[in-house]
């Protein structure tokens, strides 16, 4: 690894270390770790988790590894949801979030090694690694909002690398099958990735079946189907996908996500000559979701591996496209700036007062400005996505 | 990031006028609901090591009345700190009612006791407090500080609470900076 990249990794590491013990959106990180403690108590509890079971299992493994550092009373504070009064909160947050850092950097190192082997130009590698290492969306989502989104990064990069190498092996099948257990968004993108891959038809069919069967099997086998479907279709990812729609006839909706997604994937199929067409398909799928639907701020980090992967294989306009990608990632910050709870709220471990700061004290009508910038974000993102699919 | 936040707060928020509410202690457990009867006194002892300016007690109520509640705060040794009478109509069902007083500045952890007494209830409104099985009330201890003072206070407080972690943490940061300089 060249010297400049080692230095960049260390600066990025320093930024993340500075954030580890001081920021978190309490409901999410403490609730998921409470669940992971339950897995640690009894492994069978993994079958009661209604979302991202593998991410919870990873957390549980690290809870076990770091068990000597947990302060007394932590488990009861988590169980009683007394999140603001967790003993030795900085130590707790540091070690809760350390696995996020380990997974994120491992994913980047895997990606870097892959790019170096593919003889990608050094300038491109440098630009794309800087994009990942200093990306505001990743820094906010994983280290300020503090969600385990970086666990998905390794799976995303491995999936993309396997597809690029056309490597159809047990490892490929395993990674594809396990990905939805890490984060459910893989369910909505795997079909596009597989269809746009250069595998043989039988391989595509086999991979589709083997990728899509295990997760529903787990959901129905463990008896969490009702709660899982409830939370995903009525209240989560699925709900947000189905909400943007218009009616061409009374009671005849067109769901915009599906309509625009398949329009753009068709264009992509007809026009794209990229070696990494499958990563464009993954990017288009997720970015249509972000452009059209309401989403939790941390979700945006899901798109970055796909964006980075196809950008690096773009021969034309790489620098221009990367600049727009940077702009989109900064515009993304308009989402957390809509509410005090997602801006100053995550700083509650720094000082309890941050829980009670209201944004109006700083900038009146801040929600209005946030929504204007959210609209700009959606506009730029959808234009960028259309451009990518039409090239 | 902390430094950036610190600078933003200092530049934007007027320190003298923008103080924020802070919670130092929160406890809510409604295992037992106890109705307050006229002239019955309930009490709660607590120890605290932070300056505080309010005790907030969780009430539930049925009916509206013009009655009065007496609140009294004493040090554990019996020295009176604060005493006042509050109109019952201000007590909202299902909320913590704040009994505010001049900020108690503490140099070391101290123990206090607060007392609540229903002294008038002409309409027989029913007022309940929540207690756990050990007879502890549901209450909060809170106060108000400028954001800057809050950051300084909590930073020092947290370092004092967990010196081993912070020693490890600062060494780790120094280690990363050292390696960065050596490359």
Which pLDDT does position B108 carry in this prediction? 86
Mark yes or no for CB contact A90/B165 under 8 Å.
Answer: yes
pLDDT tens digits, residue range A49-87? 878 889 999 999 999 999 999 998 888 888 877 777 788
Q: Is the residue at B2 inside a domain?
A: no
Q: Is the residue at B71 inside a domain?
A: yes
Range of the domain at B118: 17-144
Count up the domains in chain B and report the number.
Answer: 1
Which pLDDT does position B58 carry in this prediction? 93
Count up the domains in chain A and report the number.
Answer: 1
Phi then psi for residue B21, to 5 deg, are: -65, 145
pLDDT band (50, 70, 90) for residue A291: confident
Query: Mean pLDDT of all residues in chain A?
Result: 89
Evaluate whether A203 touches A168 at the Cβ level (below 8 Å).
yes
What value, to the nearest 5°, has the Cα angle with vertex A378 and ends A372 and A381? 140
Cβ burial A104-126 (10 Å sphere, 16+ → b, else e): bbebbeebbebbeeeeeeeebbe
Distance in angstroms (rounded) separating the CA atoms of residues A29 and A27 = 6
- Interval A20-38 mean pLDDT: 90
pLDDT tens digits, residue range A240-258? 788 888 888 888 889 898 9
Helices marked H in B55-126: none
pLDDT tens digits, residue range B169-183? 999 999 999 999 888
Evaluate whether A186 touches A179 at the Cβ level (below 8 Å).
yes
Q: Is the residue at B101 inside a domain?
A: yes
pLDDT tens digits, residue range B26-36? 888 888 888 88
Encoded tokens for A168 = 């159809």
**CATH number of the structural domain spanning residue B53:** 2.60.120.680
pLDDT band (50, 70, 90) for residue A328: very high
pLDDT tens digits, residue range A166-183? 888 999 999 999 999 998
Which pLDDT does position B55 carry in this prediction? 92
Return all residues near A54 (Cβ < 8 A) that are at least 6 apart.
A151, A178, A181, A182
Encoded tokens for A326 = 């940077």
* Residues belonging to chain A with any Cβ–Cβ distance to chain B shorter than 8 Å: 3, 6-7, 10-11, 13-15, 17-19, 21-23, 69, 82, 84-85, 87-91, 94, 144, 347, 349-357, 361-362
pLDDT band (50, 70, 90) for residue A351: confident
Orientation angle between helical segments A214-221 and A201-212, nearest 10 degrees: 20
Which pLDDT does position A10 carry in this prediction? 95
Which pLDDT does position A44 carry in this prediction? 84
Burial of A67 (C-beta count, 10 Å sphere; 0-12/13-18/19+): exposed
- Interval A193-216 mean pLDDT: 91
Which pLDDT does position A282 carry in this prediction? 93
3-state secondary structure of A10: helix
Range of the domain at A234: 3-390
Distance in angstroms (rounded) separating the CA atoms of residues A322 and B127 = 63
Return all residues near B21 (Cβ < 8 A) that are at least 6 apart.
A353, A356, B142, B143, B144
Mark yes or no for CB contact B158/A90 under 8 Å.
Answer: yes
Mark yes or no for CB contact B20/A356 under 8 Å.
Answer: yes
Q: What is the value of ipTM here, to two decimals?
A: 0.86
The residue behind tokens 């509890």 is A45
Which among B38, B44, B29 has a CA at the least distance from the CA of B70?
B38
Give the best residue of A6, A11, A353, A359 to mutate against chain B (max B CB count within 10 A): A353
Instruction: Give me the count of residues in chain B.
Output: 183
- Asked if the model's pLDDT at residue B61 lies above 60, the reply is yes
């Amino acid at each position: 690894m060249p010297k400049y990249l080692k230095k960049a990794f260390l600066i990025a590491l320093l930024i993340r270390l500075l954030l580890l013990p001081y920021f978190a959106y309490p409901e999410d990180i403490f609730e998921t770790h409470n669940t992971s403690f339950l897995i640690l108590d009894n492994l069978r509890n993994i079958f009661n988790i209604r979302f991202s079971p593998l991410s919870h299992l990873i957390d549980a493994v690290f809870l076990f590894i770091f068990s000597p550092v947990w302060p007394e009373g932590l488990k009861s504070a988590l169980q009683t949801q007394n999140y603001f009064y967790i003993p030795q909160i900085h130590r707790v947050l540091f070690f809760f979030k350390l696995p996020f850092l380990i997974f994120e950097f491992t994913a980047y190192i895997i990606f870097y090694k892959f790019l170096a082997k593919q003889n990608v130009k050094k300038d491109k590698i440098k630009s794309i690694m800087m994009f990942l290492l200093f990306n505001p969306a990743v820094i906010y989502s994983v280290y300020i909002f503090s969600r385990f989104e970086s666990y998905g990064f390794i799976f995303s990069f491995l999936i993309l690398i396997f597809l690029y190498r056309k490597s159809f092996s047990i490892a490929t099948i395993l990674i594809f099958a396990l990905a939805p257990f890490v984060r459910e968004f893989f369910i909505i993108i795997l079909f596009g990735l597989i269809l746009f891959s250069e595998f043989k038809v039988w391989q595509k069919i086999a991979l589709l079946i083997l990728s899509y069967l295990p997760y529903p099997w787990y959901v129905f086998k463990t008896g969490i189907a009702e709660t899982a479907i409830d939370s995903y279709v009525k209240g989560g990812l699925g709900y947000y996908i189905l909400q943007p729609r218009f009616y061409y006839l009374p009671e005849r909706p067109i769901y915009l996500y599906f309509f625009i997604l398949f329009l753009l994937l068709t264009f992509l199929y007809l026009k794209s000559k990229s070696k990494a067409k499958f990563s464009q398909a993954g990017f288009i799928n997720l970015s249509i979701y972000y452009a059209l639907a309401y989403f939790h701020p941390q979700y945006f980090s899901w798109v970055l591996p796909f964006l980075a992967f196809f950008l690096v294989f773009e021969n034309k306009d790489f620098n221009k496209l990367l600049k727009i990608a940077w702009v989109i990632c900064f515009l993304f910050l308009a989402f957390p700036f809509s509410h005090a709870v997602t801006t100053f709220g995550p700083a509650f471990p720094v000082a309890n007062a941050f829980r009670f700061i209201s944004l109006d004290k700083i900038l009146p009508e801040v929600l209005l400005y946030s929504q204007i910038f959210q609209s700009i974000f959606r506009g730029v993102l959808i234009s960028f996505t259309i451009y990518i699919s039409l090239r | 990031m902390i430094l950036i936040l610190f600078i933003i707060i200092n530049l934007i928020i007027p320190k003298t006028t923008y103080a924020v509410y802070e919670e130092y202690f929160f406890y809510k457990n409604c295992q037992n609901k106890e109705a307050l009867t006229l002239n019955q006194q309930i009490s709660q002892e607590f120890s605290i090591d932070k300056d505080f300016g309010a005790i907030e007690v969780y009430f539930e109520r049925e009916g509206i009345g013009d009655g009065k509640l007496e609140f009294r705060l004493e040090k554990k040794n019996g020295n009176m700190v604060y005493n006042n009478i509050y109109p019952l109509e201000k007590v909202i069902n299902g909320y913590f009612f704040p009994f505010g007083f001049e900020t108690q500045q503490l140099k070391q952890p101290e123990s206090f006791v607060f007392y609540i007494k229903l002294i008038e209830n002409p309409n027989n409104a029913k007022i309940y407090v929540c207690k756990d099985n050990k007879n502890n009330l549901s209450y909060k201890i809170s106060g108000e500080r400028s954001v800057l003072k809050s950051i300084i206070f909590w930073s020092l407080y947290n370092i004092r609470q967990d010196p081993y972690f912070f020693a490890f943490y600062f060494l780790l940061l120094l280690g990363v900076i050292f390696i960065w300089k050596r490359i």
